[in-house]
Structure 1
Amino acid sequence: MGWGGILMGAFIGLSGVGLMTAGVVWKGRAARPFAASRARTMARREYVRHLRRAADQVISEARRSAGEGEPAIVTVEAVVRMTRERYGYDEVERRHAAAVLRLRFEHGRCAVDCVTDAYG
């Protein structure tokens, strides 16, 4: 192993140490958006995703708790409550929850065995 190998090893080692130092210094910066408009967009997407998950969870919970031959009762208020409790939102608009519940109701073919107040 000559000087070329030693220098190459030192270069690779110092590059690795430099990258690790940069990672420690700038930890998490790539995950945070730089622009406020991007942060608002991401927050809206997350809000809708959490509403969708809450609606799916409420529908499946209502189906499990319904008796044999009974329709599952899915309410907008249950979606609002689930979103607040599980995902920690202080404000959940009822009209948003109703819109998402209507979408998930139609997507999950719930008209066969479910009843909802989202259309009222």
Structure 2
Amino acid sequence: MGGIYVWGFLIVVVIGAGLITAGAVWKGRAVRPFAASRARSVARREYARDLRRAADVVIAAARRSAGEGEPAIVTVEAVVLTVRERYGYAVVERQHAAAALRRRFEHRRCAVDCVTDAYG
């Protein structure tokens, strides 16, 4: 009866070792793009997402730093600097940052208490 447990244990160990080996060999392949076009589209989506996040961060920081009754001043340059510093982009197009800031400015209803240069 003890032999059955030993064989069962060995089978479980062998299957586990096989799964670990397969995981080590195929690690990360499911998330890697298969084509250059897919890699470019993923990079574009991440860039747009990072611009949106940076615009939100800049708007929130401007609102916190504005005094009582003063408008929060949100600049495109602040968004560009935030994207460079936080997300590590070497080149950030000013027009892309301005477009992202305009979208987030309207989405967060900033016209009530904010001023921006994104429309200029």
| TM-score of the superposed pair, with normalisation by structure 1 | 0.90
Corresponding residue pairs, total: 120
| TM-score of the superposed pair, with normalisation by structure 2 | 0.90
- Structure 2: where are the runs of 5+ without partners? none
Aligned-residue identity in percent:
73
Equivalent residue for 2:119? 119
Equivalent residue for 1:21? 21
The whole-number CA distance in structure 1 between the counterparts of 2:33 and 2:22 is 18
1:4-40, Cα deviation, whole Å (9 max, x unpaired): 7665544333221111011112222222212111111
- Structure 1: where are the runs of 5+ without partners? none
Structure 1 residue 3: Cα displacement: 7.3
Q: Which stretch of the first structure deviates more once superposed, 78-87 or 4-13?
A: 4-13
Matches within 5 A, 1:77-96: 77-96=77-96
The whole-number CA distance in structure 1 between the counterparts of 2:26 and 2:90 is 31
Equivalent residue for 1:100? 100
Quote the RMSD (CA, aligned, Å): 1.6
Runs of 4+ that moved beyond 6 A: 2-5
1:70-115, Cα deviation, whole Å (9 max, x unpaired): 0000011110111011111011111111111011001101000000
Equivalent residue for 1:43? 43
